Amino acid sequence: MTKHVVAVAQQCPKTVFVLGGYSQGASVTDISIGIKTMLDHRALEPTVRSKAIQFCNFGDPVCANGFNAMAHMMYPMDGSVTKAAQQAAALVKSGMNSFRG
């Protein structure tokens, strides 16, 4: 993913990217753009904090250091996926002015 994003960004520098993932897919996305969030959802780096949307359910053992496996399994059913897609679409439609680096 990293190579593809870099190649597209080099060819079309004004391209706006929306990258996302759930569980391991989110980890791949984080790694590809240099964000470290695994097991510390509060620690989004300041350089990306204004450009990132993150969802972490209370008790999630992956991102909240919790012990409730169901909290991790609920994202597809609790509206998080829809909310993330709506927020991303709204930002793209608005021109992403506040998200451009």
4, 27, 32, 72: the catalytic one is 72
Task: Tell me the C-alpha distance between 20 and 83, whole Å.
Answer: 12
Class of residue 76 by CB neighbours under 10 A (exposed 0-12, middle 13-18, buried 19+): exposed
Q: Which of 23, 27, 32, 80 is catalytic?
A: 23
| Active site annotation includes 72 | yes
To the query of whether residue 60 is one of the catalytic residues in this protein, the response is yes
The sign of the CA dihedral 11, 27, 25, 80 is negative
Q: Is 23 a catalytic residue?
A: yes
Residue 57: CB partners within 8 Å, gap ≥ 6? 63, 64, 68, 71, 72, 74, 75, 78, 80
Query: Choosing from 30, 50, 60, 98, which is the catalytic residue?
Result: 60
Q: Any idea which residues carry the catalytic annotation?
A: 23, 60, 72
